[in-house]
Amino acid sequence: MILAFALVLGALVVGWAAPRRLRVLTASRMDPALAIAWWCLTCLGVAATAAGGVVLVLLPEHGPARWVLEWLHGCWTAVSHGSIPRLDDMVGMLGTAVLLVVVARFGIGAIRRRAASQRAHCRQLDLLRIAAREQPGPIPVLWLDHEQPLAYSAAGTPPFIVASRGLADRLSDTELDAVLEHERAHIRRRHHMIVGLAEALAWAMPFVPLTRQAPAAIRVLAEIDADRKAAARHGAETVRCALLRIGSGDAPAGALAAADHDVQLRLDRLARIRSAPLVHRVGTLVTAAVTATSLPGLAGLGLLAATAAASCPLMSM
């Protein structure tokens, strides 16, 4: 049970401490796609480590816990002055209950969001086909005759982009193409799905700051990532000019808008845009995958080792 407790504690420590460090990535020069990977993989590592701790409580005589427990048995016996006979069972039942609740909330949240998003998608599409002019394409653009500048993308089946006459009137042809490319990037890079999963995990684990703050951070990073894709095709200055012209705007729930979420931050990132070599990006992604997923477990083992080092000398005194 000691190792299991250490794993859960490590997951909680990372869940509380990681957001401050991860928020730095948003304003840094790091590729926003890699920053999104850091957030997602860290959330995955925290959830998996906590779940692994619960499993070890339920199976105390199996897996890697056994030799660690035997090594620390003398130290912990001296410090704890004996163990409560049914403590493992009690903690295991409590941990299992919490794990099942979290898994159920995540599944229910993801299914509900998916169903609500698809219903809203169908309603929007039915109304827009009546009120808007459709521009055919792999991802069709539905043009609204409205003076307010508007552009957003909606994933689903089929995906589509909504834009307004006011947007076309305010932007040059090149700037308009950049805005539409921004929206296509959201759909092609599955930003809607990533944000939706982050929102479901936040609903399942609202007590962990990491999961609670992840959706908002990933939304901003998704916008920066789409800006970079539009800039790669039309130039960073063109995207900057388009953002300055249309300002900030709102999009329907479940949609991602070109002029939404921290416009000033996105302008700053566009001014400092740079493209890293493929080898560097792959190396950074591998580093993120290994570090983010293993950090909660390593933190727990570190706490376990530190506590053991402090408690073992007490036994010899």
Question: Residue 158's CB: how many other CB atoms inside 10 A?
Answer: 12
CA gyration radius for the chain? 24
Kindly state whether residues 259 and 288 are assigned to the same domain: no
The residue whose two tokens read 């229910």 is 108
The 10s digit of each residue's pLDDT in 160-213 is: 999 999 999 999 999 999 999 999 999 999 999 999 999 999 999 999 999 999
The 10s digit of each residue's pLDDT in 267-305 is: 888 887 766 667 777 887 888 888 888 888 888 778 777
Kindly state whether residues 210 and 126 are assigned to the same domain: yes
Kindly state whether residues 141 and 198 are assigned to the same domain: yes
Per-residue pLDDT 10s for the chain (317 aa) are: 677 777 888 888 999 999 998 998 888 888 899 999 999 999 999 998 888 887 776 665 545 545 445 544 545 554 455 444 455 555 556 667 777 888 888 888 888 888 888 888 888 888 888 888 989 989 999 999 988 888 999 988 889 999 999 999 999 999 999 999 999 999 999 999 999 999 999 999 999 999 999 999 999 999 999 999 999 999 999 999 998 888 655 556 555 656 555 788 888 888 877 666 677 778 878 888 888 888 888 887 787 777 667 666 555 55
Q: Record the pTM.
A: 0.80
Kindly state whether residues 266 and 304 are assigned to the same domain: no
Kindly state whether residues 297 and 257 are assigned to the same domain: no
- The token duo for 264 is 């000033």
Rounded-to-integer distance, Cα 255 and Cα 166, Å = 19
Kindly state whether residues 146 and 184 are assigned to the same domain: yes
Is the residue at 111 inside a domain? no
Kindly state whether residues 129 and 271 are assigned to the same domain: yes
Kindly state whether residues 138 and 261 are assigned to the same domain: yes
Is the residue at 239 inside a domain? yes
Specify the pLDDT at position 180.
Answer: 96
Task: Kindly provide the residue ranges of all beta strands, DSSP E only, lying in the chain, ordered along the sequence.
Answer: 133-135, 141-144, 151-154, 160-164, 256-257
Tell me the residue range of the domain where 2 lies: 1-83+277-317
CA-to-CA dists, residue 285 to 35, 38, 276, 288, 299, angstroms: 9, 8, 12, 5, 21
Kindly state whether residues 264 and 289 are assigned to the same domain: no
Rounded-to-integer distance, Cα 25 and Cα 191, Å = 18
Kindly state whether residues 259 and 289 are assigned to the same domain: no
| Total domains present in the chain | 2
Kindly state whether residues 305 and 228 are assigned to the same domain: no
DSSP-derived pairing of the beta strands 133-135 and 160-164: unpaired
